[in-house]
Amino acid sequence: MIMTLLLGLAAAAQADAPAAGSGAAESLRYFDGRQWRPLWQSEHEIAEIAPANQAPAASLGAGARLVQQRGGLRIWRLQDTPGAGVGRSLAGGDPARFSPVFYLSPHGGARLVPRGNIVVRFFSAREPVELDAWAEAQGLRLIGKTSLPATYLFAADTGMAAVHKANDIQHSGKVHFAVPQWWREAYTR
């Protein structure tokens, strides 16, 4: 299956992989290269994307607990008190540094965090000048070509901007596919 480039995260303890929320409604859909998939946003977790040697953000508050760290990605569980939710943390933080955490099921499972990049496969190969013009028109920046024919990697400003832009490009019908790139938790057996 053609999927975004994935960075596996180390296995998390079952206690640190809570459900997206009891009765949680689908919060987002994305195209995975073959079909549209629903995602559920965690009600209690937030991802911090920063260099591994950078100190954790103080804006998360004293009640935030680090549940997983892999390279420059930290997953925080926020305390379950009024006003300390993910929405408040996302609204008060740098959108390039913080991102929601998603699940493929309303019951939890592997975590997904948007990386801020989009993989786009055009119907035919493009010249560099065409790619740069297309990227600029989309508000993206060309990173480079992938190993797949006529397929390129582009950067957006933030993870969520990449998800929404990939969906817009996919809906346009002008490309074979446009998929957001994810950090996806992987479990060892």
**Answer CATH for 115-185 from 1.10.150.120, 3.30.70.80, 3.10.20.600, 3.40.50.280:** 3.30.70.80
Q: Average pLDDT, stretch 70-86?
A: 72
- Confidence category of residue 3, pLDDT binned at 50, 70, 90: very low
The confidence score (pLDDT) of residue 80 equals 64
Helix (H/G/I), strand (E/B), else coil: 176: coil
Residues 6+ apart with CB under 8 A from 164: none
pLDDT tens digit sequence for 91-147 = 456 767 888 999 999 988 889 999 999 999 999 999 999 999 999 999 999 999 999
d(CA 22, CA 115): 26
Cβ neighbours around 130 below 10 Å, total: 11
**175 has a pLDDT exceeding 80:** yes
CB 131 within 8 A of CB 142: yes
Closest CA to 26 of 99, 116, 109, 107: 107
Indicate where the chain has its CATH 3.30.70.80 domain(s). Answer: 115-185
pTM for the whole structure: 0.77
- Confidence category of residue 16, pLDDT binned at 50, 70, 90: very low
**161 has a pLDDT exceeding 50:** yes
